[in-house]
Amino acid sequence: MHGKHGRGHLRRIFGLGDKRERGGPWGFRRRFFESGEVRIALLSLIEDAPKHGYELMKDLEARSGGVYKASAGTVYPNLQLLEDRGLVRADVPEYGKRVFTITDEGRAELEKNREQIGRIWNRADDWGDWSDAMSPGAMEVWGPGMKLVRSAFRAAASGDEERVEKVRRILGKAAAEIEKLKE
């Protein structure tokens, strides 16, 4: 038994998703987008409003909390493919940047893929929740933080309720003190 919440509870806390959503031995995805997902994500962003490629690159970055940085080599070929399939239309206004607008065929494609789009943006939100953990300052405390976590797990491993409660209180106090630093 894995306690009252089970392993799934910890996976959700750490934003690791279910088994279909993860890769690698520790549950972390190797890539932000899987095959075909960039295309559908771009289409869903264009549905909101017509956009040019650079705006879409920035939107993808913003939706992931800065964790995923789209490259021109990823975005523009996918936009061309969407245009070739008739899912978007590219117009060149006066200022010269190609602006992509969704077509009726593109809207129909999105309707067929609403569930997949929801999963993509939910995952982006989960990654975004961890974006602070990738900052230079945060990287400085990863080692001590992991040492604290390892020590807490070892101390609580026996399952002794009194010891587990003591570890919980210590961690709660530490978290409260650290939260005060943000003020």
Q: How do residues 88-146 score in pLDDT, each as one tens digit? A: 999 987 778 899 999 999 999 999 999 988 888 887 776 655 666 667 787 788 888 88
For residue 159, the enclosing domain spans 135-181
72 and 120 together in one domain? yes
Q: Are 3 and 76 members of one domain? A: no
115 and 142: one domain? no
Residues 60 and 45 in one domain: yes
Global confidence as pTM: 0.59
- Are 113 and 164 members of one domain? no
Write the pLDDT tens digit of every residue in 29-66: 456 777 888 899 999 999 989 999 999 999 988 887 77
Distance CA 38, CA 76 (A): 11
Same domain, 115 and 68: yes
55 with 26, same domain?
no
The whole-angstrom separation of Cα 61 and Cα 54 is: 11
Q: Are strands 88-91 and 99-102 parallel, antiparallel or unpaired?
A: antiparallel
What integer pLDDT is reported at residue 110 of this predicted model?
95
